[in-house]
Amino acid sequence: MEQRVCYRCLIRDLANSDYGERIGKYLDAIDPKDRTDDLLYEDRLSVCKACEKLETGTCLACGCYVEIRAAGKKTACPIGKW
């Protein structure tokens, strides 16, 4: 059976993703004073999930992993959506 790629998914949503664990460790290492609160983080990710620039957890506008960019207090969407 052919495995299909979910283009509008976040890394955390992908089955059997080794990257999901790595991203989780990176997020855990961000100093709490530099990280968004959970509500803002999820709001940002919902915007990313609806964006045409999202492809398999990566922003095609800048090349970042959206789950990492969305976690930073001083970060912004490269195309101004949040």
pLDDT band at 13 (very low <50, low <70, confident <90, very high): confident
CA–CA distance, 68 with 26 (Å, rounded to integer): 8
Q: What is the pLDDT of residue 28?
A: 93
Section 44-52 average pLDDT? 96
CA 73 → CA 1, 24, 28, 29, 61, distances in Å? 42, 17, 14, 14, 19
81, 40, 43, 46: which is closest to 62 by C-alpha? Answer: 81
3-state secondary structure of 25: helix
pTM for the full predicted model: 0.85
* Pair 68, 51: CB distance under 8 Å: no
